A and B are shown apart, each in its own frame.
Chain A
Amino acid sequence: DAGVIQSPRHEVTEMGQEVTLRCKPISGHDYLFWYRQTMMRGLELLIYFNNNVPIDDSGMPEDRFSAKMPNASFSTLKIQPSEPRDSAVYFCASSLLSGGAYNEQFFGPGTRLTVL
């Protein structure tokens, strides 16, 4: 398996522009997570999905952020409009909850977002 795939790997944009980050989870996984990592706040969970349904979006910072998972193999995280304080590395992770056991999350390589 290719692992979790994220695109783009790097994104530089100007304040006010719309940014869309993409994620392809590992095939067969039923959970998908979006994280944001900054020096100041560390690794923060933004939102996660189970079977394409958003379960907890309490970590989404504000209405400018939205996430969708239209099918089991694709998810997007959108920021509109973007602001300089959104600059961070955004990670997508997926996992499979099987037999009630708690399984590891597999992380993608991340998207480094810079908002000028």
Chain B
Amino acid sequence: AQSVTQPDIHITVSEGASLELRCNYSYGATPYLFWYVQSPGQGLQLLLKYFSGDTLVQGIKGFEAEFKRSQSSFNLRKPSVHWSDAAEYFCAVGRGGANNLFFGTGTRLTVIP
């Protein structure tokens, strides 16, 4: 069965600093991987997704993620964090042939001035 682990519950970074949010998945075949962001009081918005091909995926708002099969990871990165990036970030995995997703428990990002 597929599953997703986000080891960090809460991360605090300074504005302008770089960011990396960790995501590890468990799935036997090639996974479909997603990162979503949830701002306070809002629904989830897709940041980026990986299906196949180039393992470095670019998303919206300056985010990128790298798929590493050997490490079963799909970490989210941003070179310079802005105060508006403060939110909750969810990694999710899907499987081919089905359209449902399994979400991680989320990582809350706090950005300090």
Chain B residues with CB below 8 A from A7, complex form = none
Q: Which of A80-116 contact B (CB under 8 A)?
A: 91, 93, 95, 97, 101-110
Contact pick for A97, options B44, B46, B49, B99, CB 8 Å? B99
**Chain B: interface residue total (CB-CB under 8 A):** 22
**Cβ of B43 and Cβ of A102 under 8 Å apart?**
no
Q: Nearest A residue to B106 by beta-carbon distance?
A: A42
> What is the CB-to-nearest-CB distance from A77 to chain B, in angstroms, rounded to a whole number?
15
A43-B90, A102-B51 given as contacts; is B99 within 8 A of A107 (CB)?
Answer: no
Chain A residues with CB below 8 A from B103, complex form = 42-43, 45
Main secondary structure of the interface of B (DSSP, over half): strand
**Cβ of A109 and Cβ of B42 under 8 Å apart?**
yes
B67 lies within 8 A of chain A by Cβ: no
Mark interface residues in A40-58 (1 if CB within 8 Å of B CB, else 0). Answer: 0011010010100000100
A102-B94, A102-B99 given as contacts; is B32 within 8 A of A107 (CB)?
Answer: no
* Number of cross-chain contacts by CB at 8 Å: 50
Main secondary structure of the interface of A (DSSP, over half): strand
Q: Nearest A residue to B104 by beta-carbon distance?
A: A42
> What is the CB-to-nearest-CB distance from B105 to chain A, in angstroms, rounded to a whole number?
4
Cα distance, A50 to B97, chains bound together (Å): 13
**Cβ of A45 and Cβ of B43 under 8 Å apart?**
no
Contact pick for A91, options B44, B104, B106, CB 8 Å? B44
Chain A residues with CB below 8 A from B43, complex form = 4, 91, 93, 107-110
Cα distance, A5 to B81, chains bound together (Å): 31
A91-B43, A107-B44, A107-B45 given as contacts; is B100 within 8 A of A101 (CB)?
Answer: no
**Cβ of A95 and Cβ of B34 under 8 Å apart?**
no
B53 lies within 8 A of chain A by Cβ: no
Most chain A C-beta atoms within 10 Å of own C-beta, residue among B51, B99, B103, B106:
B99
B101 lies within 8 A of chain A by Cβ: yes
- Please list the residues of chain B having a beta carbon within 8 angstroms of any beta carbon in chain A: 32, 34, 36, 41-46, 49, 51, 90, 94, 96, 99-106
